[in-house]
Amino acid sequence: MPNLPDLAGGFKTLREMDLNAIREQAESPLHIAVVGEAGVGKSTLIGQLLVGPRQHEPPGVPPVTEHRLDENVLFQPYSSVLLMVDATQAEHPRERQFIDKLSAHRTPVVVCYNKSDLVENPQTVLNEAMRWSGAEVVAIAAPDRNSLLRGLAPAMLRAHRGREVLLARRLPMLREPVSHKLIDDTSFINGAYSLTTGLAEINPVLDIPLNVADMAVLTKNQALMAYKIALAMGLPSDWRETIPKLATVVGSAFLWRQLARELIGLIPAYGIIPKIAVSYAGTYAVGQAIYQWCVNGEKLKPETLKALYTEALGRGREAARSLVAKRQAARLEAPKRRLGLFAPALTCPACGKKLPKGAAFCAFCGKPIETPAAPQE
CATH code where residue 43 lies: 3.40.50.300
- Give the lowest-confidence range in 2-11, 85-94, 321-330: 2-11
252 lies in a domain? yes
> Tell me: the pLDDT tens digits for 226-247?
889 999 999 888 877 777 777 7
289 lies in a domain? yes
Q: Buried (b) or exposed (e) across 53-92, using 16+ Cβ within 10 A?
A: beeeeeeeeebbbbbebeeebeeeebbbbbbbbbbeeeeb
Q: Is the same domain home to 194 and 323?
A: yes
Q: Is the same domain home to 178 and 322?
A: yes
Whether the predicted pLDDT of 61 surpasses 70 = no
Please state the rounded mean pLDDT for residues 144-164.
93
Q: CA–CA separation, 4 vs 12, rounded Å?
A: 14
pLDDT band at 158 (very low <50, low <70, confident <90, very high): very high
166 lies in a domain? no
- Give the lowest-confidence range in 168-172, 186-190, 357-361: 357-361
374 lies in a domain? no
298 or 263, higher pLDDT: 298
Q: Is the same domain home to 311 and 193?
A: yes
- Among 159, 189, 216, give the residue marking a domain's end: 159
Q: Is the same domain home to 179 and 324?
A: yes
State the pairing for strand pair 208-209/202-203. Answer: antiparallel
Q: Is the same domain home to 202 and 99?
A: no
- Number of domains observed in the structure of the chain: 2
Percent of the chain scoring above 90 in pLDDT: 24
- Among 112, 137, 159, give the residue marking a domain's end: 159
203 lies in a domain? yes
240 lies in a domain? yes
- Among 137, 159, 181, give the residue marking a domain's end: 159
Residue 357 pLDDT:
62
Whether the predicted pLDDT of 350 surpasses 80 = no
For the entire predicted model, the pTM comes to 0.78
Whether the predicted pLDDT of 150 surpasses 90 = yes
1 or 49, higher pLDDT: 49
Q: Is the same domain home to 15 and 47?
A: no
Q: Is the same domain home to 329 and 180?
A: yes
Reduce the DSSP state of residue 61 to 3 states and report it. Answer: coil
Q: Buried (b) or exposed (e) across 221-232, using 16+ Cβ within 10 A?
A: bbbbbbbbbbbb
Percent of the chain scoring above 70 in pLDDT: 68
Residue 333 pLDDT:
64
Most confident residue range from 22-26, 157-161, 315-319, 330-334: 157-161
Q: Is the same domain home to 86 and 145?
A: yes
E-assigned strand segments in the chain:
32-36, 64-67, 80-86, 109-114, 136-139, 202-203, 208-209, 346-347, 354-355
Q: Is the same domain home to 139 and 286?
A: no
Residue 269 pLDDT:
46
- Give the lowest-confidence range in 55-69, 162-176, 225-239: 55-69
Please state the rounded mean pLDDT for residues 249-262.
55
370 lies in a domain? no
Q: Is the same domain home to 201 and 320?
A: yes
Q: Is the same domain home to 186 and 304?
A: yes
Q: Is the same domain home to 246 and 306?
A: yes
> Tell me: the pLDDT tens digits for 209-225?
445 667 777 778 888 89
Enclosing domain of residue 196: 7-23+173-333
215 lies in a domain? yes
